[in-house]
Amino acid sequence: MNKWTALAQKMSKWIILALTFIIIQLLIQVNIINDYLQATLATICINIILAVSLNLITGFTGQFSLGHAGFMSIGAYTCAIILLRMPTTWGFLAGIFGGALLAAVVGFLVGLPTLRLRGDYLAIATLGMSEIIRILFLNMEITNGAAGLSGIPRFTNWFYLFVFMIGTIIVITNFLKSSHGRACISIREDEIAAEAMGINTTRYKVTAFTIGAFCAGIAGALYAAYFYFVKPSTFGFLKSIDVLVIVVLGGMGSISGSILSAILLALISTILQDFSELRMILYALMLIIIMLFRPQGLMGSKEVSLKIFKNLLSYMPSRKEGQ
């Protein structure tokens, strides 16, 4: 194999990413992807960020969190408040990172005591936490109560969505490949055994939780700067469930599973958007049926990767040589 093909193979991931970005950008330019489809696209990207980060907490570290909507709302409100006072690109970036940092700080503070709890207690504690956050937003002056904040300038576009989505995925997959990530996975497999091996379980659980909260904050900020308004009822219990459904359907412990199921579910809800009750019944049945018949989700803990194509390519010539 010569140098160039080796280089091309190494770069193929990035080339495919760049092509995806350029093709969709062109489709938006020539208006094949119209405003309506663009909103779906934004939802998909935001849901991917949310699902991948929840997957880090629930799927890889095994800590069942029902509070993702709470962290998302912190990001959304922070970004909205900053953008309403400073409607510039710098304000937008400050909003994203400010929101994400604030969400991470809250995640850290909440995670520190509650992550000592076992599975189902943690679920209720995180649920309680996100309800408290929602009620605070409902009652604070700066967040304008139940009416929420409106008239937020739109800064989120395909470029930012793509950059932050890919950024989140890269950060989280690399984290999982590091020794920290391996420690998190060992906690999921057997917490007592992990502790016996000298892993500081609380520390790694809090790390995963804080990273997850940070990414959820980014997702919230992108949401606020795309959909013009935020209100507390958007970020209720059902939003957390929405994200959970994506993670469970895709497979707890599979990043590419989360991505695929985020896309699939966004398409399903676009089709069913006029029948919101039916959509929820379908979601509910999906949760039950997946748990009963395929508890590992569509992908289990497997990942889709370019290796499949590479394997196919290398398989075919080798057979010819054998003949």
**By the criterion CB under 8 A, which residues form the site for other proteins?**
58, 62, 64, 110, 113-114, 117, 119-121, 123-125, 127-129, 131-132, 135-136, 138-139, 192, 237, 241, 244, 248, 252, 277-278, 280-281, 283-288, 291-292, 295
Q: How far is the CB of 248 from other proteins (least distance, A)?
A: 6
Cβ closest to other proteins, residue 37 vs residue 272:
272
Cβ closest to other proteins, residue 28 vs residue 282:
282
Q: What span, in angstroms and rounded, lies between the C-alpha atoms of 156 and 230?
A: 14
Q: 215, 168 in Cβ contact below 8 A? A: yes
Cβ closest to other proteins, residue 38 vs residue 61:
61
Angle of the 237-250 helix axis to the 35-54 helix axis, nearest 10: 80
Q: How far is the CB of 191 from other proteins (least distance, A)?
A: 9
* Terminal CA-CA length for the chain: 21
Q: How far is the CB of 205 from other proteins (least distance, A)?
A: 15
Cβ closest to other proteins, residue 149 vs residue 252:
252
Q: How far is the CB of 305 from other proteins (least distance, A)?
A: 26
Tell me the three state secondary structure of residue 232.
helix
Q: How far is the CB of 264 from other proteins (least distance, A)?
A: 17
Q: What span, in angstroms and rounded, lies between the C-alpha atoms of 53 and 283?
A: 20
Q: How far is the CB of 237 from other proteins (least distance, A)?
A: 7
Backbone angles phi and psi of 24, in degrees to 5? -65, -40
- Give the H/E segment covering residue 176: helix 158-177
Cβ closest to other proteins, residue 220 vs residue 297:
297
Cβ closest to other proteins, residue 84 vs residue 124:
124
Q: What span, in angstroms and rounded, lies between the C-alpha atoms of 206 and 203?
A: 5
Buried/exposed 9-47: b ≥16 CB within 10 Å, e otherwise = eeeeeeeeeeeeeeebeebbeeeebeeeebebbbbbbbb
